[in-house]
Chains A and B, each alone.
Chain A
Amino acid sequence: MEMPTVTMQVIPMEHGLLLAAILFVMGMVGVLTRRNLVFILMSLEVMLNATGLAFIVASSRWGQVDGQIMFLMILSLAAAEVAVALGLVLQLFHKRKTLDINVLGEMKG
C-alpha cells in the first residue's frame, strides 16, 4: 500500500488538544448563556465540532485512520441531530410564536 508520506514541521499534540478544549468551552458557555433556541443549537454544533477536532488530533498523533472514522460518525450524528432539532424548532415556533426557552420551558406533556 502506497502511503503518501509528507514531512512537515511538527506541531505539538497539546496545542491541537488545547484548541479543541477552548472551542468546546466556548460552545458550552454559549449553551449556558443564550436563551434563543437557534443559538443554543449553534453552540451545540460548536461543541460537536470541537470533539471532532480532538479526534482528528489524536488520529494525526498516531498516524491512524480510526480518529478520522470517529470524526465521520460525529459528522453524521451532527447532521441527523440538526435535522430533527430544526424540525422541532419550526413546530415550536408555529405553536408559540417565540424561540425563548423560558417561555418554551413551560410546556406540559
Chain B
Amino acid sequence: MSVLFYGSAIIAILATLLVITRTNIVHALLYFIVSLLAIAVIFYTLGAPFAAALEIIVYAGAIMVMFLFVVMMLNLGHVTQDQEKAWLTPSVWIGPSIMAVPLLAAVIYAINLNQEQMAHTVVGGKEIGIALFGPYVLAVELASMLLLAGLVGAYHLARK
C-alpha cells in the first residue's frame, strides 16, 4: 500500500508539473487526467474507494471532457501555441515560483511539527450514503441548488 501511495504521489506531482508548463492545451489536459488518475489511486490507498471512483467519473470523466469540448469549439491552433511559447519565458515564471516556495516551506514545516499516523479503516460508500442523507441532507440540497444555478448560468452564457 505504501509503495502504491508514494509511487502515485510522484506521478501526480510530475504530471501536475507538466500541466502547468505545457504550451499545448490538449497536452496539458492529458497530463492533468494522468494526475487525476494518480490521485484517485492515492484516495484508494487512503481507504476512500468511493471518493476514488468519483474522482475518475466526475473529474477525469466529466470536467476534463467539458474542457476538451471547449478547446475543440475554440479551435485555437498553432497561433495560440506560439503565443504561449513566447509568454512562458523564465522571467515570467521565476518570480511567482520563488515567492511560492517559501510558503510551501512554511506549510511543510508546520505539517511536520508533530507526527500522526493514519487510521486503518476503509470508509466505503454505505457510510457516505448514510451520512449524506442523514446529518448532511441540507448540504446535499444546497449542492443541488448550486448545480442548478451552474446549469442555468452555463446555458445562458454559452448561448449564441
Which positions in A face B, CB cutoff 8 Å? Answer: 1, 3-19, 21-23, 25-30, 32-36, 38-39, 41-43, 45-46, 49, 52-53, 56-57, 59-66, 68-69, 71-73, 75-84, 86-91, 93, 99-100
Contact = CB atoms under 8 A, between A and B. Distances in A.
Residue of A32, A66, A78 with most chain B CB atoms under a 10 A cut-off: A32
B90 to A, nearest CB: 10
B128 A38 contact: no
Contacts of B29: 42
Interface string B79-120: 010011001100011001100110110011001100111111
B157 A84 contact: yes
26 contacts: A8-B45, A9-B1, A10-B118, A12-B117, A23-B12, A23-B39, A25-B104, A27-B16, A27-B20, A29-B100, A33-B96, A34-B20, A38-B67, A39-B25, A42-B32, A53-B42, A60-B48, A63-B119, A68-B128, A71-B51, A71-B54, A72-B128, A80-B147, A83-B154, A86-B154, A87-B153
Interface in B111-147: 111-112, 115-124, 127-128, 130-132, 136, 139, 143, 146-147
Central interface residue in A3, A43, A81, A82, by most chain B CB within 10 Å: A82
A44 to B, nearest CB: 11
A28 to B, nearest CB: 6
Say what secondary structure dominates the interface of chain A: helix
A42 B158 CA distance: 19
Contacts of A63: 47, 119-121, 123
A49 B39 contact: yes
State the majority secondary structure of interface residues on B.
helix
A57 B117 CA distance: 11
B112 A68 contact: no
A69 B117 contact: no
A11 B20 CA distance: 28
Contacts of B96: 29, 32-33
B157 A91 contact: yes
A86 B67 contact: yes
Contacts of B62: 79
Given A33-B96, A80-B147, A26 B17 contact: yes
10 smallest CB-CB distances across A and B, nearest first, come from A80-B150, A87-B157, A30-B20, A32-B96, A63-B119, A83-B154, A87-B158, A60-B46, A63-B121, A33-B93
B47 A22 contact: no
B28 interface: yes
A49 B73 contact: no
